Amino acid sequence: MTDSDYNKKKGKLIVVSAPSGAGKTTIVHYLMKQLPELEFSVSACSRKKRPNEKNGTDYYFLTVEAFKQKIEKKEFIEWEEVYPYQYYGTLKSELERIWDKGHPVIFDVDVLGGINIKKLYGKNCLALFIMPPSIEELKKRLVNRSTETEDSLKKRLERARREMSYANSFDVIIINDQLEKAQKQAEAEIREFLET
């Protein structure tokens, strides 16, 4: 990477947001393979670690109390109580860690978190909204995951409807009806953003 490339990309952020089950994490994994200069911003959360997850790789797992202490100390650029006692947020120290290496940051964050990051960083941030083709398709994807109870599925779908109403707050809306097409569209948008 030349000095000019380094300066062009340092301080840039890419936000990928979507309702749960719309495919944002799959798309982010694809983007990181195609664009190795991107570095993933690991979010902090207060939920319990799942068996296949690693602290510091998937999330920074904090207790509710520790999360609240970091809120009080203003250590987050954004945070939200997504469900009762389930906090998610982005630590300022995570951005500094990545920018110190001269890399653009990529986020896989919930919709309100994405909007908040975009508001904070303006033109230095490209915000992508991954839209499911329909609520019915989203329900099918969530059911196929086999991680939801009837009650949690209902809550996720209610939340998804709300989140989809914020799509126009993002720079680009990508409809994920065909995964490969959605991935390539996201990649093209990011490549163009990083070149400006």
pLDDT level of residue 9 (50, 70, 90 thresholds): low
Residues 12/193, Cβ–Cβ less than 8 Å: yes
Q: What backbone torsions phi and psi does residue 163 show, to the nearest 5 degrees?
A: -65, -40
Model's pTM, two decimal places? 0.84
Mean pLDDT across the stretch 164-170?
Answer: 96
Q: Tokens for 166?
A: 């914020």
Measured distance CA(146)–CA(166) in Å, rounded: 27
CATH superfamily entry for domain 33-125: P-loop containing nucleotide triphosphate hydrolases (3.40.50.300)
What type of residue is 188?
Answer: A
Is the model's pLDDT at 126 over the cut of 90?
A: yes
pLDDT of residue 10: 64
CATH superfamily entry for domain 131-196: P-loop containing nucleotide triphosphate hydrolases (3.40.50.300)
Q: Tokens for 18?
A: 């979507």
Structural domain boundaries of the chain? 33-125, 131-196
Mind listing the pLDDT tens digit for each residue in 97-107? 999 999 999 99
Question: Bigger pLDDT: 72 or 148?
Answer: 72
